[in-house]
Amino acid sequence: MADENISDLIERYLKEILAQNEQVKIRRSEIAGLFDVVPSQINYVINTRFTIQNGYIVESKRGGGGYIRIEKVHLLDDIDVLNSLIAAIGNKLSKRDSETIVQTLYNNELINRREVSIILAAIDKDAIDLNSSDLTDIMRANIMVSILNRLRYER
């Protein structure tokens, strides 16, 4: 929907193939040529959009006949998904990664659309960002307001 930059176009191109093929095998320079970008931009696209958190496994090989293969993984059961996600989080989590995780939960049908946005509201920057102290109660207020605001509308 918001494909204004080339990386998004490349992402969409690959995902369209993956929508029908379970896996896609490319020659890096070919795709780079197709979209008229430097080859390393393909790595950028893969590193930012085809991570394991997003549900993709990437394999590659260099040298003659080299390739990059992207495979959409089918996560076994819900607990495994949750365990691996929790393990991957550690003790810091960027906004971007958090959104990726929520998307994965949705893709694996662990949460529905409405729950997606409740969770996003909970971890919204405006909700949890604060510079003053007296932390816990203030944070709770911020998070609660964020959630309430979310509940105002549909979708």
Partner DNA sequence: AATTCTTTGACTAATATTGACTATTATTAT
Partner DNA sequence: ATAATAATAGTCAATATTAGTCAAAGAATT
Binding interface with a second copy (CB under 8 A): 2-6, 8, 25, 52-53, 55, 57, 61, 63-67, 69, 73-76, 78-79, 82, 85-86, 89-95, 98, 101, 105, 110-111, 114-115, 118-119, 122-123, 125, 128-130, 134-145, 147-149, 151-155
**What is each CA distance from 35 to 30, 41, 128, in whole angstroms?**
9, 10, 39
Question: Apex CA 14: angle with CA 45 and CA 155, to 5°?
Answer: 85
The reply on whether position 92 binds DNA by CB under 7 A is no
d(CA 26, CA 12): 14
The reply on whether position 67 binds DNA by CB under 7 A is yes
Per-residue contact flags (x/-) with DNA for residues 7 to 36, judged by CB under 7 A: xx-----------------xxxx-------
The reply on whether position 64 binds DNA by CB under 7 A is yes
